């Protein structure tokens, strides 16, 4: 893939698969072009790409998560919630699948856009676009129903104000 800054070609980069033959889809090719453009912009600014990626693990409407043999771009719309499990995060997706990421929930909270993701409990961040319902129960406190998650999620006391503010009440 070419690395451009404006109309100027700065270089080329490539990916290959060594364990099995694989063809890149149009969507994957588009993402690789976007990465090339980002690398070109960083090079022109004199910023090292690794520093920029560590500071911002999302670009546009995608987050990057580790999969079997590398990174995969995942649409933020496809993420339902992130659930802490010690030093890992269990990422739940809209299609019912999930993945584990060796990254703390605190790290995710700092990197995800706050208008799209909100922490509702010590170990849970949810996609605000997937919130279906917010209920207050005398017995259980505040409960949040998330599209694609069977059981309501309990909202921690210290996170209620931020969630209510974000939702506009």
Q: Note the pLDDT tens digit of each residue in 47-68.
A: 554 444 444 444 568 888 877 6
Q: Whole domain around residue 13: which residue ranges?
A: 1-55
**Confidence band, pLDDT 50/70/90 cuts, at residue 7:** low
Sign of the CA dihedral running 67, 69, 70, 73:
negative
C-alpha 146/C-alpha 165 separation (Å) is 18
At 54 the pLDDT is 45
Whether 107 is in a domain gets the answer: yes
| The total number of structural domains that make up the chain | 2
At 69 the pLDDT is 63
Whether 72 is in a domain gets the answer: no
Shared domain check, 47 and 126: no
At 1 the pLDDT is 67
Whether 67 is in a domain gets the answer: no
Shared domain check, 96 and 50: no
Q: What is the pLDDT of residues 108-121, one digit of tens each?
A: 998 899 889 999 99
At 93 the pLDDT is 94
Whether 62 is in a domain gets the answer: no
Whether 64 is in a domain gets the answer: no
**Confidence band, pLDDT 50/70/90 cuts, at residue 137:** confident
At 145 the pLDDT is 93
Shared domain check, 156 and 122: yes
Whether 156 is in a domain gets the answer: yes
> Domain containing 153 — which CATH number?
2.40.50.1020
Q: What is the pLDDT of residues 19-37, one digit of tens each?
A: 777 777 877 777 777 777 7
Asked whether 99 and 67 are in contact (CB, 8 A), the reply is: yes
Shared domain check, 90 and 154: yes
């Amino acid at each position: 893939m070419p690395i451009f800054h404006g109309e100027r070609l700065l270089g080329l980069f490539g990916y290959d698969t060594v364990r099995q033959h694989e063809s890149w889809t149009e969507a994957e090719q588009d993402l690789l072009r976007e990465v090339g453009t980002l690398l070109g912009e960083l090079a022109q600014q004199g910023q090292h790409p690794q520093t920029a990626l560590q500071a911002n693990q999302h670009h546009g409407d995608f987050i990057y998560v580790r999969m079997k043999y590398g990174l995969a771009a995942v649409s933020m719309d496809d993420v339902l919630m992130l659930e802490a499990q010690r030093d890992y995060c269990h990422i739940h997706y809209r299609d019912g699948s999930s993945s584990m990421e060796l990254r703390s929930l605190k790290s995710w909270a700092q990197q995800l856009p706050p208008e799209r993701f909100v922490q509702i409990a010590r170990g849970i961040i949810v996609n605000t676009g997937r919130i279906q319902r917010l209920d207050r129960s005398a017995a259980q406190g505040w409960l949040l129903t998330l599209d694609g998650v069977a059981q309501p999620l309990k909202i921690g006391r210290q996170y209620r104000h931020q969630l209510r503010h974000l939702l506009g009440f």
